[in-house]
Structure 1
Amino acid sequence: MENPAITNHEIHPLIAQRWSPRAFDSKLVEPEKLAQLFEAARWASSCFNDQPWAFIVATKDDTVNYQKMLDCLVPFNASWAQVAPVLGLVIAQKNFKHNDKPNAWGEYDAGQAAATLVLQATALDLVAHQMGGFDADKAIATFNIPETAKPIAAIAIGYAGEPSNLPAELQERETAPRSRNPLSSIVFTGEWGNSATFI
């Protein structure tokens, strides 16, 4: 299933096609495609080129680590993500590598790496759903994440599935039209709240 964005201005088809479904097919993702996703993430931009991101990934054929990853999700997310063939965590390093000082932009940069990964997934006819609904403390303990790093999101990756395979309460959400706040509410000039004229 596809659910492209209906935009007010033309954008690249890759961005318009990207979305976050909950319906996944159980088909495994080919290792070469997985490698491409993380290669794309590797080339994201970052402050001082510090590259403060890391990923912990579990594929469904690695049953032990996959279950450990699934157990870190909140029950609602686990209810649909358990079909996805790949689950992962997005990690941000807390300090800069070159001086060990706090990196105020580390989470922002890790988010850019995740966004780049998701766009690469779209280009490969995969889908990805990023999640805030996970237990960070459990993830830290389960995967031995050091104190110098912070898990900031979970992610499910795979091929799109059929909405009819979702629990009934999620099917309507899956097929609903996508929406975004108007540009006038997020792009300002001169001062906060003064909408830019070019939008």
Structure 2
Amino acid sequence: MSTPVLDRAANTTVPVLDILAERWSPRAFDSTTPIDEAKLAAALEAARWAPSANNTQPWRFIVARRGSDLHARILDGLLGFNQAWAGNAAVLIVALAEETTADGAPLSHAQYDLGQAVAHLSVQAHADGLVVHQMSGFERATLEQLPGVEPRFAPTTVIALGQFGDVDSLPEVLQEREVAPRVRRNLDDTVLASA
């Protein structure tokens, strides 16, 4: 049985859906429990149904389960301290933006739409009791060598997915970050203009 997730609900200035307030990005992953395939499928299905400009769906995913060669290859492409914890995740997912169509037409909205798909994936996973942590620290050239990656697909983030683990298993500096207070810029500083 996995360690219960810490109570890390955001202290929002106005009420939001519980699922959004409770979602956070831990680094402590259970290193032994395999992924629940039904929950993984639900997260990917949620991403599939994200909105996109002209229904182009400019996102692709490479899904690698812990213990597979593919998981090891993705882990090898991570930078810095991401390698110290991400290998414990039951699944590593490379999220790619389809920057041009197969016939070469640019898809200027690809990064935005991929972000929406990953947000849907994250919320569904959290609703199903999984935890998600997205990473930008990776070697793009390494991930471009993974199976199925065409030149028009841009690796954009790597997602660690699985059950929450033991905070004490993290390096000390990451243990502190795992339990530090959650902070965000004030809403008034985020909205540049409102009429």
Which category describes the TM-score, using the shorter chain as reference length? over 0.9
Distance in 2 (CA, whole Å) between partners of 1:39 and 1:100 is 27
Q: Cα RMSD between the aligned structures?
A: 1.4
Alpha-carbon offset, residue 69 of structure 1: 1.2
CA shift digits 1:46-95 (9 cap, x unpaired): 0101000000010014x211111111111310111111110010011012
Work out whether residues 101 and 152 of structure 2, in 8 Å CA contact, stay in contact via their aligned partners in 1: no
What residue ranges of structure 2 are gaps of 5+ in the alignment?
Answer: none
Alpha-carbon offset, residue 14 of structure 1: 0.5
**Moved >6 Å (runs of 4+):** none
Distance in 2 (CA, whole Å) between partners of 1:136 and 1:143 is 14
Distance in 1 (CA, whole Å) between partners of 2:145 and 2:57 is 24
Alignment of 1:68-79 (within 5 A): 68-79=73-84
Q: Which of 40, 59, 69 is matched with 2:65 structurally?
A: 59
AA of the residue aligned to 1:108: Y
TM-score, normalized by length of structure 2? 0.92
State the match for 1:90 in structure 2.
95
State the match for 2:52 in structure 1.
46
Specify the structure having the higher radius of gyration (Cα). 1
1:125 aligns with 2:124: no
CA shift digits 1:118-176 (9 cap, x unpaired): 00011001000000001111110233511111110111000111211111111110000
Taking every aligned residue pair, what percent have the same amino acid on both sides?
41
1:80 aligns with 2:80: no
Does 121-130 or 142-151 show the bigger shift?
142-151
Alignment of 1:47-196 (within 5 A): 47-61=53-67, 63-96=68-101, 100-189=104-193, 196=194
How many residues matched?
Answer: 189
AA of the residue aligned to 1:83: N
TM-score, normalized by length of structure 1? 0.90
Work out whether residues 65 and 92 of structure 2, in 8 Å CA contact, stay in contact via their aligned partners in 1: yes
What residue ranges of structure 1 are gaps of 5+ in the alignment?
Answer: 190-195
